[in-house]
Amino acid sequence: MLLTITTTRNPATDLGYVLHKHPEKAQTVALSAGTAHVFYPEAGPERCTAALFAEIDPIGLVRGGGTSLTQYVNDRPYAGGSHLAVALRAAFTTALAGRCAARPELVDELFDLEVRVPSLSARGGAEVVHKLFEPLGWRVSATPIPLDPEFPQWGESRYVDLALTGTQRVADALRHLYVLLPALDGDKHYWVGQDEADKLLRAGDGWLAGHPERELIAHRYLERRRPVVNYALSRLAEADDVPAEAEALVTEVPDRPEPLAAQRHGSVLAVLRAAGARRVLDLGCGSGALLRVLEKERSFTEIVGVDVSAGALGIAEKRLGGYTRVTLRQSALTYADPALAGYDAAVLMEVVEHVDEERLPALEHAVFGVAAPRTVVVTTPNAEYNRLFDFLPMGHFRHADHRFEWTRAEFRAWADGVATRRGYDVRYLPIGPVDQESGPPTQLAVFTTSEEVAA
């Protein structure tokens, strides 16, 4: 099985830093039933290709036990699916996690990428391949492979020659492949339980919850095991939008039993209304959950959604359906963007916890120093409340991509420091049911410029 990743971003050899694999070295990683090799067929400043070649031992499959797929001669060693996804994870563990110690600034950089999987098992054919990859911002070519070129009357096989092109973070591209290759295949070579659902949630964090085919992906990735699928979909629902009827909530501290996501939306909307904002930034907008709420508020004359992920912005664009008052912009929040200056308000809803703590000063400079809106709204999980979530194991964060989760005291210490350094006043509001000991599940800070307070 072969998978290649090519970039034309100059210098293209930066791909080696992000993948944590040196272009001048061929490297080998052991798999449970074979070996994965990483090498570079080409590596120059204008074009660089990393190749992942997985050798699966058919005898090793039988010795490994597992599912019935391993007990007879089959396509597992030759067609991209769960074995290729496991090889991808084994070979590019650091890149999948979004880490690059040598060049950390490259993690959030956008690369022009070409991905090729010459033999991919795709149950449902090319149509399903397009449905799963295109919402993430990929341009898709899925050429069906005939059962036998010598006998065209036999028709097409379920295999396709897949080619993807797009502008993505490398970590995002790898996560898309890690989830969607086995989902397209629809079979796993190992037992699927709740730990597999947790893998899906970690790899899909930031994009799967907003994917229009998330139910299909979950069902196929988890082999339609209903309890595990239901668990995954319930977690994804919490991370994504809320029903349309819940989006009308507009009190700062909602008192009706509503999904927590709905309460966040309502609280943010109420703060923006109270601030008299007209031009609003949604920083870290993801797939557009909050943008849909903001677009329905007619008092906002201009709305801009900003995110580093081209895939997430692609989903947001489709969900918004061409609304003229919403503009989408690709940018990393840790880099100063003068084009974002001069807006009335900015929202960072469940964003700061996805940023490495050592990068928070850069985010502070970009948002409060360069963009410097009159009002900034920040929401983040309250770590003290985590003990009350039945689904959350002790000591775990609410999402795999969270770099930290703050207590109320830690959040106030950070927010008070930002306000002091940047000339803002700050006040705090709870979101969700308040526990006497642990506080609310979500904490909200409203930063307002001192001039605005005086006015």
Quick one: which of 325, 326, 323, 330 has its CA closest to 306? 330
- Spatial strand order of the sheet with 326-330 comes to 326-330, 302-307, 279-283, 345-349, 375-381, 442-449, 424-431
pTM value surpassing 0.85: no
pLDDT digit string (tens) for 79-132? 777 888 889 999 999 998 888 888 989 988 899 999 999 999 888 888 899 989
Report the pLDDT value the prediction gives residue 189, as an integer from 0 to 100: 53
Q: How many residues does this entry show for the chain? A: 455
Q: Is there a contact between 313 and 137 (Cβ–Cβ < 8 Å)?
A: yes
- Nearest-angstrom CA–CA distance, 357 and 352: 9
| Average pLDDT value for residue range 226-239 | 73
Would the CA dihedral through 348, 351, 353, 359 be positive or negative?
negative
Count CB neighbours of 302 within 10 A.
Answer: 13
What lies within 8 Å, CB to CB, of 85 at 6+ separation is 177, 178, 179, 181, 182
For strands 424-431 and 442-449, give the pairing. Answer: antiparallel
Distance CA 110, CA 362 (A): 18
Q: What is the mean pLDDT of residues 162-177?
A: 93
97: its two tokens:
């996690």
Query: Rounded to whole angstroms, what are the CA distances from 219 to 182, 185, 224, 226?
Result: 11, 12, 5, 8
Radius of gyration for the alpha carbons in the chain, expressed in angstroms and rounded:
23
The encoded tokens of residue 283 equal 């920083």
Centroid of chain to Cα 351: 12
Q: Which of 127-136, 209-218, 235-244, 434-443 has the lowest mean pLDDT?
A: 235-244
Structure confidence at residue 231 as a pLDDT band (50, 70, 90): confident
